[in-house]
Every structure is written in structure tokens, then in C-alpha cells.
């Protein structure tokens, strides 16, 4: 029986299951995922009944989850798990680390620069450099609190409380840089700032991501990644990608997925030379992920990017659309080896697209490996698939968790012991 939930696809070419030649395979997080909310409103639940939806992704900011120093509000995560897991769906967690808690911005001595918000013209928003020691310390403390947060596991009798890092409903976790977020530099605000330092930036990226992986060792991790340029040599994008490929090699550490949120009919472009898309460059080294640029049914930024492949039965009437998003999915599948798609609510709920989504869901799920060596009910990074063939569950998963139970007692637990 195929499991419903986060989908993992291990491919040498197409539909190759995890097996003896595992060291030659690349395991990809995949599936069709919907929006779960931003953590400031009740979870978005209207796509839960859709069979072709594998799970929902929550996008809270760090500031939302830590409103004051050491005081955490993870209720939005609780709320999403409480509705998604009983419906047979899994949850992705994307904490937007670029929006840091207010107390960090007012901490004396924190090194800061001005970044540019999406849609803004200038670099006007104060944010800390990601290599600031105080900021890195607070990021680590936040991640430890987040990983240890106790949430009911609705899949078990009695619904025991489990630490989020060990919770079977959690599929993947965004790994960002505090103060910066993605590998992205809109307007060259970071690389053009007075105290920018390339070596410090790359080291901070590795350190920040490693902290996420150390906190969530059995979950897939990924980062939004776009070309960046500081005018130095070698090109900054290439140096970061090389550092990522060496560090997150699937042996000493889990692979790090790369994601962008700009999928349209035939974009983003693959590019050439120094402008080659990072996801295209790394598609044989790690898994790639895309969020749609916008909804085909209700575009909110650049309608021409999705209208180019939108098919309607009544010209000009988007409510009669019968084709569109699957064209973008095919483009990413063919050009970036992408198997993971975040799709806007308006498109997921549109009956005219349902057959195409069902077809894609069946294709993606046909590539799911059936192995579950750690017995948690789902294929995941600790099942050996993304790891060196000589390694088993304990490799890369030697992390102590504290799982809570209904009577309030705790039990130390070590994966692989």
C-alpha cells in the first residue's frame, strides 16, 4: 500500500526505487503541496480534502514565533498539525528568518545593514548581518526550542506528545540565514553594504543551515537560492554552491535542497554562463523545489508569465480555465528535475485543473520508495535513502530528543540506539 504523505523520489533516471545501488541514486523530496498559512491567522484548511495534495506548508516569521526573547508562540504549528495529520497530510515548516524578533534589532552592539524588501525600491529595512555572534546564538536557541516543542501525535493511540523534531507529521524544514533569509541579495543590499565580508557570509550560511539540520536531523532541509554577485572572483554563486555540495554531501550531512518561488509557463530561465540558474546546475547533486510564481486562476503580479499557457473554454474568462499550472510543472520536471511543487490555493481548488493535478500526483507518487528502516511510518532522510550505502539510520541521526508524554514525564531517546 502506498503511503499518503510526504513523497520521496529516488531517481537515477525515472521511477527507480531505493535499493542496492543506493549510493548512485539521488533522493528527491516531491509531491504537490498547498499553503498552510503564515502563522498569524488560523491555518488554511480548504485544500485538505483534495487527494492529490500531499501536505501543507506553514510560512511564519521568526519574529512571529518568538515575540520576545526566550518567549515562544508555536501555537500556529500546533494548529496546522492538529488539522493536517488527522486528514492524512503532512506539514512543511518554512520559518522566514529574515524577519528577526524585535529584541534583536534593539540589542546594543549587533552589527546591522539595510536590506531591501521584495517590491521595495531601496535598501531601507534594518536587519542584522547573519554572522553576528549574538544573532547566531539566538538563532540556535530558537531552533532548539522549536525542535523540542511538544505536539500531539494523532497517529498513535492516546495521542502522545512528541517533540516536533521527531514528529511524523513534519516532513521538511526551511533552513535560512538569520537576518538575511535566502541566498538572495535584492538590490545588492548585502554585498554592497559597508561591512560585507564574503568569507563571513559563506561561513554564516553553512553555520546557520547546520544548526537547522542538527535540530531536525530526520527531516529534509532546503533553502531558497538565487544567483548572487559581489563582483569578486570566483563568482559568489559558484563558491557558495561548491561549499554546499561539499558540506551537505549526503554522507557526512544530509543533502540540502534548493528552491525558488518563480515557476511559470517556461520560467525561470535555465540561463547561460554566470547567469545559469543554480537549481539547474545542482539538479544532479541535490533535490530541487519550486513554488509557483502566482496562481494561474488569479495572478497577482505578472499575469503574462502564466497567461502564456493558460487555456480557457471561454476566451478571457479565467473561471473556465482547464489547463495551465501543469505546463509549469512539466517545465520544471524536464529542465530542473523538480519533483516538489507548492501551488496556490486558487489553483488547487479549481475544478478545471483537478484532473491534471491528479495525473501529476500519480506520477510523483509512483516514484516513492517503500523503505522505512527507522519505522516512523514515512520514507525520510533517516531511512538511508539519501545517505551513503554503507550507512544506516544511526549515521547522521545521532541526536538526543526529549519526547513528552501525557503524564508529563519525559524520556531521552537516541535514534539508532
Task: For the chain, give every domain's residue range.
Answer: 7-414
Contact between 217 and 397 (Cβ < 8 Å): yes
Per-residue pLDDT of the chain (417 residues; tens, 9 = 90+): 222 333 333 332 222 223 222 233 567 888 999 999 999 999 999 999 999 999 999 999 999 999 999 999 999 999 999 999 999 999 999 999 999 999 999 999 999 999 998 788 999 999 999 999 999 999 999 999 999 999 999 999 999 999 999 899 999 999 999 999 999 999 999 999 999 999 999 999 999 999 999 999 888 999 999 999 999 999 999 999 999 999 998 878 889 999 999 999 999 999 999 999 999 999 999 999 999 999 999 999 899 999 999 999 999 999 999 999 999 999 999 999 999 999 999 999 999 999 999 999 999 987 755 455 555 555 555 454 433 333 333 333 333 333 333 333 333 333 333
Q: What is the DSSP letter of 44?
A: P
Contact between 306 and 316 (Cβ < 8 Å): no
Beta strands in 12-54 (DSSP E): 26-37
3-class DSSP state of 53: coil
**Within 216-324, where are the H helices?**
236-247, 278-282, 303-307
User: What CA–CA distance (Å, rounded) separates 34 from 91?
Assistant: 10
Res 281: pLDDT: 97
Beta strands in 242-392 (DSSP E): 256-263, 288-292, 311-312, 321-323, 340-342
* R_g of the chain, CA atoms, integer Å: 21
Q: What is the architecture of the domain spanning 7-414?
A: Alpha-Beta Barrel (3.20)
pTM (predicted TM-score)? 0.87
Res 9: pLDDT: 38
Amino acid at each position: 500500500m502506498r503511503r499518503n504523505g510526504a513523497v520521496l523520489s529516488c531517481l537515477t533516471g525515472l521511477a527507480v526505487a531505493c535499493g542496492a545501488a543506493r549510493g548512485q541514486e539521488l533522493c528527491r523530496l516531491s509531491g504537490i503541496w498547498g499553503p498552510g498559512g503564515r502563522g498569524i491567522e488560523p491555518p488554511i484548511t480548504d485544500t485538505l480534502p483534495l487527494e492529490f495534495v500531499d501536505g501543507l506548508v506553514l510560512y511564519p516569521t521568526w519574529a512571529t514565533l518568538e515575540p520576545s526573547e526566550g518567549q515562544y508562540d508555536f501555537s500556529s504549528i500546533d494548529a496546522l498539525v492538529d488539522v493536517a495529520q488527522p486528514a492524512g497530510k503532512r506539514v512543511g515548516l518554512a520559518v522566514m528568518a529574515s524577519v528577526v524578533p524585535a529584541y534583536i534589532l534593539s540589542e546594543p552592539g549587533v552589527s546591522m545593514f539595510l536590506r531591501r524588501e521584495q517590491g521595495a525600491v531601496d535598501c531601507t529595512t534594518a536587519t542584522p548581518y547573519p554572522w553576528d555572534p549574538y544573532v547566531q546564538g539566538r538563532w540556535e536557541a530558537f531552533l532548539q526550542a522549536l525542535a523540542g516543542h511538544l505536539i500531539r501525535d494523532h497517529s498513535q493511540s492516546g495521542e502522545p506528545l512528541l517533540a516536533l523534531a521527531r514528529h511524523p507529521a513534519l516532513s521538511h524544514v526551511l533552513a535560512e540565514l538569520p537576518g538575511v533569509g535566502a541566498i538572495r541579495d535584492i538590490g545588492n543590499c548585502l554585498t554592497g553594504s559597508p561591512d560585507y565580508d564574503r568569507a563571513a557570509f559563506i561561513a554564516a550560511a553553512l553555520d546557520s543551515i547546520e544548526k537547522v539540520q542538527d535540530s531536525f536531523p530526520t527531516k529534509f532541509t532546503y533553502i531558497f537560492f538565487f544567483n548572487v554577485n559581489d563582483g569578486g572572483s570566483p563568482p559568489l554563486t559558484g563558491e557558495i554552491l561548491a561549499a554546499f555540495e561539499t558540506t551537505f554531501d549526503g554522507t557526512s550531512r544530509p543533502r540540502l535542497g534548493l528552491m525558488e518561488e518563480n515557476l511559470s509557463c517556461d520560467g525561470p530561465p535555465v540561463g547561460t554562463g554566470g547567469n545559469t540558474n543554480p537549481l539547474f546546475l545542482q539538479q544532479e547533486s541535490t533535490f530541487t523545489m519550486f513554488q509557483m510564481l502566482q496562481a494561474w486562476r488569479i495572478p497577482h503580479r505578472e499575469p503574462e508569465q502564466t497567461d502564456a499557457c493558460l487555456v480557457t473554454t471561454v476566451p478571457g474568462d479565467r473561471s473556465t480555465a482547464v489547463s495551465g499550472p501543469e505546463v509549469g510543472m512539466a517545465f520544471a520536471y524536464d529542465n530542473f528535475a523538480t519533483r516538489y511543487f507548492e501551488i496556490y490555493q486558487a489553483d488547487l481548488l479549481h475544478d478545471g485543473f483537478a484532473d491534471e493535478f491528479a495525473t501529476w500526483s500519480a506520477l510523483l507518487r509512483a516514484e516513492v520508495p517503500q523503505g522505512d528502516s527507522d519505522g516512523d511510518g514515512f520514507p525520510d532522510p533517516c531511512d538511508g535513502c539519501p545517505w551513503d550505502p554503507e550507512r544506516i539510520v544511526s549515521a547522521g541521526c545521532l541526536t538526543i530528543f526529549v519526547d513528552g508524554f501525557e503524564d508529563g514525564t519525559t524520556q531521552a531517546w537516541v535514534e539508532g540506539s
